[in-house]
Structure 1
Amino acid sequence: MARIPLRISLVVLAALLVVAGLTVSGILVSRAMREDLFRRVDSQLSAAVQTWARPRDPKLANQRGPASARRPPSNFYVRVALGEGVMVRSNDSGFNPDVRSVEDNPAEHVGPVTVPSVEAGGPEWRVIKSSNPHGESIVAMPLTLVDETASRLVRLQLTVGIVVISLMSLLSYLLVQRSLRPLRRVEETAHAIAEGDLDERVPESSPHTEVGSLANSFNLMLARIQEAFAAVEASERQARASEEKMRRFVADAGHELRTPLTSIKGFAELYQQGAVTDADDAFRRVNDEATRMSLLVSDLMMLAHLDADRPIERAPVKVSELALEAVHSALAAAPDRIVELEAPDPSPVVLGDHPRLMQVLRNLINNAVAHTPPSASIMVSVIENPASHTVRMQVADDGPGLTEEDKKRVFDRFFRGDSSRSRGANGAGNGLGLSIVSALVAAHGGQVGVDSEPGHGATFWVDLPAASAAVGKAAYQSVSS
């Protein structure tokens, strides 16, 4: 049975059960029918020996006996023996029952019993004997009708059984085929998945059936497996990207640190060799390079701090006052530059870290100062957008602008813009200022971006979530007091 398909096994088992049921029911029905027919024949025989076939006075036999007008039906065999030897017979069947066992029985009443025919090939008979003081009567009836009825019933049962079994087998096969169709789909899906197609799924079916429940559970398992594979692949991609990013970061940081270190080492060797004519100038240059290296290390530590997702302080910050402070600091560092401010009063309020947000604005302003010519003007704006519940800080310049490629990478670490963008007195920087801006804005739950076209300046903007009305009002009152 282990090698036989399940659908064939189910159909064969169902057919065997139906055959067994029909056989048992056929036997019971045939037996009951035969017993009922025997009871009817016995009832007719008993009624005959007690009424019209009962032995009577010989004087009245010719008037009321079996040979009178009240002759019994032709399917009866009747033999009446009267006291004075008068014998009355009646038989139209063509066969005679063998009644010797009944005649030899001394009992007054015998039967009904079943006896064969005297002639070969004759039917069986049901016989009854009854005696009284006037004589003895034997009445028999052939069982031809009983046998024919029983035979017809058996043939009918066989015909019906064959039809029922055939229809049942066909319908069972179709039903099993239909019921097991989802299992075949599960098998096909499993083969497809084994070949690498993780997107395959078993068609959904009713969860109230065993096969449907299995299909749904199989789909759920496939979804979990696919999610696990996707998570592993995403983790691997992220790990590769992080590794590549780290390698690039370390290489860039090493390159940036190597330049001031090489300069410091060079001035130190020249000083040791006595080749430095102006010691004060040499030490000034060494100090400048050390300051540059210190700023680079500070920026790297800042980025490492932000990459670790360490929490930042959050307190109400008035953005207009923050922008005003940043503009004053920029004018103090570059008094020859044009830096203007547009900010609403009263000031919009955000929740954030005041020093970090100040660093965001200073980096954006310093970037504009460093990458635009001295004649270019810089506009710092604060814009509140009640519809989106955000506050925008933006720094716009009318310098040479950015190319599309530069716009995509301007916030990458150690990225420096095209050489066509002029460099101011502050120099080119180390390429980390805008990366720090992006990381700080992300830590505050905001967004950063740039709008620019070559030859039409650049506008760097930062959108931060605005504080609620209650928090903003309380913060404003607190700052005002």
Structure 2
Amino acid sequence: MSAPPVRRRRPHRLSLRARLLVITLVLVLAALLGSTAALAVLLERSLVDQLDDRLQAAAALAAQPPVVLVAPGAPAPQVRNAVEGALTGDVHLVVLRPDGAVQRVVRPATGSPPALPPLDAAAVEARGERPFEAPARAGGHAWRVVATPAQGGTVVVAVSMAETDETLRDLGVLALSIDAVVVVLVAGAAWFAVRAGLRPLRLVETTAASIAHGDLAPRVPDLASGRTELGRLSAALNGMLDRIEAGDAARAATADRMRRFVADASHELRTPLFGIKGYTELYRMSGLPERADVDRAMGRIEGEAARLARLVEDLLLLARLDEDDASGGLPLRLSPMDLRTLAADALHDLHVLDPGRPVTLTGPGGGPPGSAPVLGDEARLRQVTSNLIGNAVAHTPPGARVRIGVGTHAGEAVLELGDDGPGMTAEQAARVFDRFYRADDGRGRAGGGGAGLGLAIVQSLVAAHHGRVEIDTALGAGAVFRVLLPLHAEAPQHAED
């Protein structure tokens, strides 16, 4: 069975400002109409109650004994005038027999009289002199009626509700007019209020449009408190823009470093490959007639192949160091050790590489060497010292003094290697750990030098041990490379000084 199609909500045709304005006006209009209707109901009830009170008073006056309304020639005008004085508007006053038939019309209605229900003695007694409403016979305004028992019959007093209806109608017209004025005023005020309230959203829209065109520099200004919705939205957008801009800058820097890395790697790999290719082509073209020439060419090919192998191994090591530990990067076999062992071995290696070079073993910055216990991979840390020694031999003139310092300082284990070579400028020192960077002009490479990966490997291996590498140098004042690693209290104590 196929999945039911997903219903997509149609986008709103009205803008947010228009929708807010419409919702505000609808709510205000509903409140005004509701209050007007409630006021009309309450006023109608009050007017009817007042009319009923006067009607009952007039009925009581008309029913007072002696009942003169049924006697021929009785002074009915006096009763009629008394009733008319108690009531206003059109009045209808009749006397009914006990069976409900009309005995006498004392005061006829000027308009359409009320259509009275059956009012015999039993019906009148059941109503209990309570006012009730009756329609007009020929249509028109309704009547309020009271039937009161009297001597020999029933007195019925009715008054038209025309005045009450007109009062309610006039009030309704006035209230609706006021409501219309209020709606217009509220619409104007709401338009300005919504426009001012949505101004930050327009700034957000402008900023988003700039971002869409590739400009990540603009930021949403802080126009509202951080505890409001707009304030939190502005802070969230600015934070997002900061992360996007930082991410773009990091990606651009990474892409630039990758381009330089590929270019430098291609150049370094091409040099030994072209050397090997040149000697093989020379051999194929019979350009090496003597055995000594062949041996010399094979020696050069072997040297270039070894150089190529070292370069590939260094690149693979750096690639593994660049991997995240969680994804299976370079495994470290950590164990307690003392950096004095590495310093002593470095001293012996320098004597072997350059017997005529003066080398001293001291503490950090001078003084006697000290213990430097760490938790590290001894093979990888030996690679660090080997690269530092090779860098010192390659970039200092023969006979230049080298100092190896080992110990602790400021709660860290320190292994440093200093030389009295030509030193480096601040710009060269800032880039000395970059891959394939060689400060040839400032330090004078001897013996061809390397590919410029040794110090990059040193920095990566030390960082893998949660340490750091520092350099102190100045042009003409030599250089000191300082490896700082976290101390480990349980390292064994070695005494190879």
Q: TM-score if structure 1 supplies the norm length?
A: 0.70
Task: Summarize the Cα distance change of 1:464–1:138 in structure 2 as closer, same or farther, 3 Å threshold.
Answer: closer
Alignment check: 8 A CA contact 2:374 2:485 kept? yes
Which is greater in Rg? 1
1:31-110 paired onto structure 2 within 5 Å: 31-51=44-64, 54-55=66-67, 80=69, 82=71, 85-87=73-75, 89-90=77-78, 91=81, 107=101
Alignment check: 8 A CA contact 2:93 2:157 kept? no
Is 1:243 matched with 2:243?
Answer: no
Alignment check: 8 A CA contact 2:276 2:304 kept? yes
Task: Write the distance in 1 (CA, Å) between the matches of 2:89 and 2:331.
Answer: 119
Task: Write the distance in 1 (CA, Å) between the matches of 2:89 and 2:299.
Answer: 147
Task: Write the distance in 2 (CA, Å) between the matches of 1:116 and 1:150.
Answer: 17
1:437-456 paired onto structure 2 within 5 Å: 437-456=458-477
Alignment check: 8 A CA contact 1:11 1:173 kept? no
Show the counterpart of 2:268.
252
Deviation string, structure 1 residues 160-200 (Cα, Å, up to 9, x no partner): 55445644664476457646765564355234313325554
Please tell me the residue identity of whatever aligns with 2:258: S
Task: Summarize the Cα distance change of 1:327–1:234 in structure 2 as closer, same or farther, 3 Å threshold.
Answer: same
Show the counterpart of 2:314.
302
Match of 1:312 among 332, 339, 363: 332
Alignment check: 8 A CA contact 1:81 1:137 kept? no
Show the counterpart of 1:396.
418
Query: How far does residue 380 in structure 1 lie from its aligned partner after superposition?
Result: 0.8
> Helix, strand or coil for the counterpart of 1:46?
helix
Please tell me the residue identity of whatever aligns with 1:311: P
Task: Write the distance in 1 (CA, Å) between the matches of 2:144 and 2:438.
Answer: 123
Task: Write the distance in 1 (CA, Å) between the matches of 2:397 and 2:227.
Answer: 76
Task: Summarize the Cα distance change of 1:258–1:416 in structure 2 as closer, same or farther, 3 Å threshold.
Answer: farther
Task: Write the distance in 2 (CA, Å) between the matches of 1:289 and 1:180.
Answer: 79
Show the counterpart of 1:377.
401
Match of 1:409 among 431, 435, 449: 431
Please tell me the residue identity of whatever aligns with 1:326: A
Alignment check: 8 A CA contact 2:343 2:406 kept? yes
Task: Write the distance in 2 (CA, Å) between the matches of 1:318 and 1:130.
Answer: 125
Please tell me the residue identity of whatever aligns with 2:359: V
1:458-469 paired onto structure 2 within 5 Å: 458-467=479-488, 469=489
Task: Write the distance in 1 (CA, Å) between the matches of 2:144 and 2:270.
Answer: 123
The worse-fitting range, judged by mean Cα deviation, of 148-157 and 37-46 is 148-157
Task: Write the distance in 1 (CA, Å) between the matches of 2:104 and 2:311.
Answer: 128
Task: Write the distance in 2 (CA, Å) between the matches of 1:285 and 1:330.
Answer: 31
Query: How far does residue 349 in structure 1 lie from its aligned partner after superposition?
Result: 1.2
Match of 1:347 among 371, 375, 395: 371
Task: Write the distance in 2 (CA, Å) between the matches of 1:207 and 1:371.
Answer: 57
Please tell me the residue identity of whatever aligns with 1:333: L
Is 1:362 matched with 2:386?
Answer: yes
Query: How far does residue 415 in structure 1 lie from its aligned partner after superposition?
Result: 3.7
Query: How far does residue 378 in structure 1 lie from its aligned partner after superposition?
Result: 1.0
> Helix, strand or coil for the counterpart of 1:89?
helix
Please tell me the residue identity of whatever aligns with 1:190: E
Match of 2:348 among 305, 328, 334: 328
Task: Summarize the Cα distance change of 1:103–1:352 in structure 2 as closer, same or farther, 3 Å threshold.
Answer: closer
Q: TM-score if structure 2 supplies the norm length?
A: 0.68
Task: Summarize the Cα distance change of 1:332–1:223 in structure 2 as closer, same or farther, 3 Å threshold.
Answer: closer
Task: Write the distance in 1 (CA, Å) between the matches of 2:107 and 2:486.
Answer: 111
Is 1:13 matched with 2:26?
Answer: yes
Task: Write the distance in 2 (CA, Å) between the matches of 1:148 and 1:100.
Answer: 18
Query: How far does residue 392 in structure 1 lie from its aligned partner after superposition?
Result: 2.0
Task: Summarize the Cα distance change of 1:456–1:30 in structure 2 as closer, same or farther, 3 Å threshold.
Answer: closer
> Helix, strand or coil for the counterpart of 2:477?
coil
The worse-fitting range, judged by mean Cα deviation, of 413-422 and 108-117 is 108-117
Task: Write the distance in 1 (CA, Å) between the matches of 2:195 and 2:460.
Answer: 57
Task: Summarize the Cα distance change of 1:2–1:18 in structure 2 as closer, same or farther, 3 Å threshold.
Answer: farther
Alignment check: 8 A CA contact 2:92 2:158 kept? no
Task: Write the distance in 1 (CA, Å) between the matches of 2:443 and 2:154.
Answer: 142
Alignment check: 8 A CA contact 1:410 1:434 kept? yes
Alignment check: 8 A CA contact 2:421 2:479 kept? yes
Query: How far does residue 304 in structure 1 lie from its aligned partner after superposition?
Result: 1.3
Query: How far does residue 395 in structure 1 lie from its aligned partner after superposition?
Result: 1.4
> Helix, strand or coil for the counterpart of 1:195?
helix
Task: Write the distance in 1 (CA, Å) between the matches of 2:452 and 2:144.
Answer: 123
Task: Summarize the Cα distance change of 1:109–1:457 in structure 2 as closer, same or farther, 3 Å threshold.
Answer: farther
Task: Summarize the Cα distance change of 1:184–1:241 in structure 2 as closer, same or farther, 3 Å threshold.
Answer: same
Task: Write the distance in 2 (CA, Å) between the matches of 1:159 and 1:117.
Answer: 28
Please tell me the residue identity of whatever aligns with 1:291: G
Task: Summarize the Cα distance change of 1:180–1:306 in structure 2 as closer, same or farther, 3 Å threshold.
Answer: same
Please tell me the residue identity of whatever aligns with 1:115: A
Query: How far does residue 458 in structure 1 lie from its aligned partner after superposition?
Result: 1.8
Task: Write the distance in 1 (CA, Å) between the matches of 2:445 and 2:157.
Answer: 138
> Helix, strand or coil for the counterpart of 2:440?
coil
Gaps in structure 1 of 5+ consecutive residues: 57-79, 119-123
Show the counterpart of 1:457.
478
